[in-house]
Amino acid sequence: MTAGPYSAKVMEHFMNPRNVGEIDGADGVGEVGNPACGDMMRLYLRIEEGRVKDAKFRTFGCGAAIASSSMLTEMIKGKTVEEARAVTNLQVAEALDGLPAVKIHCSVMAEQAVKSALDDYAKKHPG
């Protein structure tokens, strides 16, 4: 089902977001805000043997922001830390079958959240 400006894939992830919640004793937590609109995303990562074992999120934001958060968690699970860090917002948007031009910025929050969570992980696990 499409609605307003969004693809069916966006609506599917928006209505049934994967991996909502938090991880107790997460190995990395990232929190980023979108200065353009005041929206916010928090990402929790469980990392084992250099790979993203689990990812959960909480997002305050528009449909595109929630769908991007959901898609991102699906994309990074199983990836190595390096691979996860390389995920870009455009890859997230592409995986969602595109976002309206005015909503591309919403996927940026997802990219930044991974980097922020991985920075947190690196700080907690030096070396």
Partner 1 sequence: MRKVYFDHNATTPVHPEVAAAVQPFLGGSFGNPSSIHWAGRDVRKAVEDAREEMAAFYGCRPLEVVLTSSGTEADNLALKGVAYLEGNAGKHIVTSQVEHPAIINTCRFLETQGFRVTYVPVNRQGIVDPESVREALAADTILVSIMAANNETGCLMPIGEIGEIAKGAGILVHTDAVQATGKIPLPWETLPVDLLTFSGHKINGLKGAGGLLVRKGLELSPVVHGGHQERGRRGGTENVVGIVGMGTAFSLLRKNMDAEVAQVRGLRDTFERALFDRIPDLVLNGHPTKRLPNTVNLSFRYVEGEALLLNLDMLGIACSSGSACTSGSMEASPILLAMGADPTDAQGALRFSLGLGNTEEDVSYSVDAVERVVAKLRAMSPLYHPREAM
| Residues forming the site for partner 1 (CB under 8 A) | 1, 3-4, 6, 11, 14-15, 17, 20, 22, 29, 31, 36-42, 58-63, 65-66, 102, 105
Cβ atoms of 56 and 20 closer than 8 Å: yes
Tell me the three state secondary structure of residue 121: helix
* Residue 104 contacts ligand FES per CB under 6 A: no
Closer CB to partner 1, 80 or 90, in the complex = 90
* Residue 3 contacts ligand FES per CB under 6 A: no
Q: CA–CA separation, 114 vs 2, rounded Å?
A: 28
Among 12, 44, 57, 61, binds ligand FES (CB under 6 A): 61
Among 3, 8, 15, 37, binds ligand FES (CB under 6 A): 37
Neighbouring C-beta atoms of residue 21, cutoff 10 Å: 8
Minimum CB separation of residue 117 from partner 1 in Å reads 12
Which positions are annotated as active-site residues? 37, 106
How does DSSP classify residue 80?
B
* Residue 43 contacts ligand FES per CB under 6 A: no
Cβ atoms of 89 and 113 closer than 8 Å: no
Minimum CB separation of residue 6 from partner 1 in Å reads 8
Q: CA–CA separation, 32 vs 40, rounded Å?
A: 6
Cβ atoms of 45 and 26 closer than 8 Å: yes
Minimum CB separation of residue 68 from ligand FES in Å reads 8
